[in-house]
Amino acid sequence: MLRTHTCGELRGTDAGREVTLAGWVHTRRDHGDLTFIDLRDRYGLTQIAASAKDSPAAHAALKDVRNEWVLRIAGTVRERPAGTKNAKIPTGDVEVAAATVTVLNPAKTAPFYVNEETPVDESLRWKYRYIDLRRERSRDLMRLRHEIVDHIRRYFVDRGFWEIETTNLIRGDPTGARDFLVPSRYAPGKFWALPQSPQQLKQILIYGGIDKYFQIARAYRDEDPRADRVTEHSQLDVEMAFVEREDVMVLIEDLYTGIIERFSTKPLLQKPWPRLTYEEAMRRYGSDKPDLRFGMEISDLTRAFTGTGFAVVRDAVAAGGVVRGITFEGHFDATRKEIDMVTDVAKQKGAKGLLSFGFAADGVRSPVAKFLSAAETDALRSAAGAKAGDLVLAVAGDEHAASEAIGAVRSHLGEVVRLADTSKHSAVLIHEFPLVERTSDGGWKFTHNPFSGPLTPAEMALLDSDHPERARSSQYDFALDGRETAGGSIRIHQRAMQERIFRQMGIPKEEAARRFGAILHALEYGAPPEGGFAGGIERLVMTLAGTENIREVQAFPKTQTGYDPLLDAPAPISADEMRELGLRVIERP
């Protein structure tokens, strides 16, 4: 071994011991005949002292070293003189009097400071990730991720689960986001796909009698990255045989409660976790992943506009729509610019516009006040629970769309105005999701995945009614601080029911057999009732660490455009490789 101890290990009880340390130069201080450096490794810092009088060779060797040089130092541990001890670090009571110094590798000047947590451009950090990982914050995030994953593994192993790794080359089927495709050299013109989730494979494991499975799986989606979503991520994947919905939801709550209480300094807002049906979550918060750390619940304002002469609202309600609103306390005097900003948020969710009503002591301030009677404004104020000084924001339209749009405004205000009590964590389970929902072209799609089972057998009959969207599924989601963190369902375990769901999605029986043949065949050979869930590792770690950027908790992140500055990828391949794979590139105009 090149070292006997780490740089975070030595204490006062080690005084007098001969030791050898190895690490990076964190800082260097030259006091003439006495030179100090702080030597750093993953475990911490140790001060090294070299005296021109007592160890001239070591003192001379340290003369030329600079930050980030890699050194091996042998010497004697001694207590620091009175008044020089450093209570801020665990090794602050001691230093090592260097006898020999070996330069293992010099270093160029780093493109940014390692010993200071100064802001650095993200692309530069990812390009020099091997330097960025030496910084304390980056190192702590990697440690936190490791410890959380270790906790998860121990949790499931202790409960009889087997960790099984599924394949990363599968049949492509872009039923969700776009697949990442891999050309086959043995079958030119045909492609593997990287899994968006090991969904079919984990169900097939259960059909094979592996009745408790988990893995930390890699998942890939060819979609635009966002602050909390990237093209490549890790997820906890869990599946169990002979379970019901309540069994899995209890498991989710127990697992994540333990993680939060062990790895966060913030307590849970509520324990046991609140449970909301999808319908209740949308009605109260306009979101299926609500942040419960602040109120501002949605009000139904429809009756306040009964018989209104205001055409925009009248026409929406006459078409079967509703008016949904939130009350923003103490902001009746919001500027037009501020209103326009939140209006854009509502429009991004499909709203045609956003109504605003500022209730002052002397009346209501609103661009549409002239269209409303005094009785209507009084009814509006009462329905919204608004008082003088409050601002009411509202959306008129289809019930789901109006709730979702005003819910987006609520979430936006909670983030921008910092309404949430960030000293606590909000955990909530959402269940009873719709089994299917309309697509923009009038068809149908699944709300979770096409393998989610109905909540009850009676739900399947609703698929043949005029309102298939009323059929409820066995899906459940876990949201942490307003972020979807895990979700799953009880799966379909009968072929006829699975084919009926595919048919609802517009997939004929023959096409379903071609695309999902493996799982459909397996359902005919004794598939048990089963269910499970998946949860994003990065999203969990970033939430507990209090960072808003998911790439911070990945060892080798890519930029927001999916580019890897470290490896300069994606990159072209040679003409020979192209010919071997039977590929050619058609240049875009």
Look up the CATH number of the domain holding residue 166: 3.30.930.10
Residue 325 belongs to domain spanning: 294-419
Q: Which of 98, 94, 33, 111 is nearest to 71 (CA)?
A: 98
**Does residue 446 register a pLDDT over 90?**
no
Read off the pLDDT band of 10 (50, 70, 90). Answer: very high
Same domain, 77 and 136: no
Classify residue 269: in a domain, yes or no: no
Same domain, 100 and 147: no
Read off the pLDDT band of 364 (50, 70, 90). Answer: confident
Whether 237 contacts 532, CB under 8 Å: yes
Residues 6+ apart with CB under 8 A from 65: 25, 28, 37, 71, 101, 103, 106
Q: How many CB atoms lie within 10 A of CB 48?
A: 25
**Does residue 407 register a pLDDT over 70?**
yes
Quote the CA–CA distance of 392 and 331 in Å, as a whole number. Answer: 9
Classify residue 80: in a domain, yes or no: yes
Q: What is the pLDDT of residue 176?
A: 67
Same domain, 97 and 195: no
Side-chain-side CA neighbours of 304 within 13 Å: the count stands at: 23
Same domain, 100 and 180: no
Of 225 and 539, which is predicted with more confidence? Answer: 539
Average pLDDT of span 541-550: 94
pLDDT digits (tens, 9 = 90+) for 40-72: 999 999 999 999 999 999 999 999 999 999 999
**Four-CA torsion 82, 84, 90, 91, nearest 10 degrees:** -90
Of 371, 388, 419, which marks where a domain is finished? 419
Distance of CA 369 to the CA centre of its chain: 42
Q: What is the pLDDT of residue 327?
A: 96
Residues 6+ apart with CB under 8 A from 281: 287, 288, 290, 428, 430
Q: Which of 538, 542, 536, 539 is nearest to 236 (CA)?
A: 536
Q: How many CB atoms lie within 10 A of CB 50?
A: 27
**Does residue 372 register a pLDDT over 90?**
no
Quote the CA–CA distance of 120 and 406 in Å, as a whole number. Answer: 36
Average pLDDT of span 9-25: 97
Residues 6+ apart with CB under 8 A from 550: 227, 228, 229, 230, 233, 538, 539, 542
Average pLDDT of span 396-408: 94
Quote the CA–CA distance of 381 and 388 in Å, as a whole number. Answer: 9
Read off the pLDDT band of 363 (50, 70, 90). Answer: confident
Residues 6+ apart with CB under 8 A from 146: none
Same domain, 123 and 91: no
Read off the pLDDT band of 583 (50, 70, 90). Answer: very high
- The tokens for 518 are 């493996």
Q: What is the pLDDT of residue 524?
A: 96
Please list the residues that pair with 392 across neighbouring strands: 327, 357
Same domain, 221 and 324: no
Classify residue 319: in a domain, yes or no: yes
What is the pTM (predicted TM-score) of this model? Answer: 0.93
Of 400, 419, 438, which marks where a domain is finished? 419
Quote the CA–CA distance of 149 and 10 in Å, as a whole number. Answer: 29
Q: What is the pLDDT of residue 174?
A: 64
**Does residue 426 register a pLDDT over 70?**
yes
Average pLDDT of span 137-159: 98
Q: What is the pLDDT of residue 287?
A: 96
Average pLDDT of span 370-374: 85
Read off the pLDDT band of 228 (50, 70, 90). Answer: confident
pLDDT digits (tens, 9 = 90+) for 277-326: 999 999 999 999 999 999 999 999 999 888 788 888 888 988 899 999 99
Classify residue 474: in a domain, yes or no: no
Q: What is the pLDDT of residue 8?
A: 97
Same domain, 406 and 298: yes
The residue length of the chain stands at 589
Classify residue 16: in a domain, yes or no: yes
Give all strands of the β-sheet with 355-360 in edge-to-edge order.
299-300, 322-328, 390-397, 355-360, 363-365
Average pLDDT of span 180-185: 94
Read off the pLDDT band of 175 (50, 70, 90). Answer: low
Same domain, 47 and 144: no
Q: Is 209 helix (H, G, I), strand (E, B) or coil?
A: coil
Q: Which of 163, 243, 168 is nearest to 198 (CA)?
A: 168
Q: What is the pLDDT of residue 438?
A: 87
Alpha-carbon radius of gyration of the chain:
30
E-assigned strands of 80-211?
94-105, 162-163, 180-183, 191-194
- The tokens for 535 are 């949860």
Same domain, 237 and 144: yes
Quote the CA–CA distance of 302 and 565 in Å, as a whole number. Answer: 53
Same domain, 328 and 354: yes
Of 391, 419, 447, which marks where a domain is finished? 419
Quote the CA–CA distance of 175 and 450 in Å, as a whole number. Answer: 9
CATH of the domain at 377: 3.30.1360.30
Block residue for tokens 């140790």: 46
E-assigned strands of 282-389?
299-300, 322-328, 355-360, 363-365
φ and ψ of 184, to 5 deg: -100, 125
State which amino acid sits at residue 327. T
Quote the CA–CA distance of 352 and 398 in Å, as a whole number. Answer: 11
Which is it for strands 436-438 and 444-446: parallel, antiparallel or unpaired? antiparallel
Q: What is the pLDDT of residue 440?
A: 80
Same domain, 81 and 141: no
**Does residue 226 register a pLDDT over 80?**
no
Whether 84 contacts 108, CB under 8 Å: no
Report how many domains make up the chain: 3
pLDDT digits (tens, 9 = 90+) for 479-520: 999 999 999 999 999 999 999 999 998 899 999 999 999 999
Q: What is the pLDDT of residue 521?
A: 96
Q: Is 239 helix (H, G, I), strand (E, B) or coil?
A: strand
Same domain, 82 and 127: no
Classify residue 441: in a domain, yes or no: no
Whether 275 contacts 427, CB under 8 Å: no
Q: What is the pLDDT of residue 51?
A: 96
Classify residue 289: in a domain, yes or no: no
Classify residue 309: in a domain, yes or no: yes
**Does residue 371 register a pLDDT over 90?**
no
Query: Number of H helices and number of E strands within the chain?
Result: 17, 22
**CA dist list (Å): 401 to 87, 190, 351, 469:** 57, 41, 7, 14
Q: Which ranges of 133-198 does DSSP label H, i.e. alpha helix?
A: 136-157
- The tokens for 257 are 């409660």
Average pLDDT of span 151-178: 92
Quote the CA–CA distance of 380 and 182 in Å, as a whole number. Answer: 57
CATH of the domain at 75: 2.40.50.140
Quote the CA–CA distance of 554 and 129 in Å, as a whole number. Answer: 11
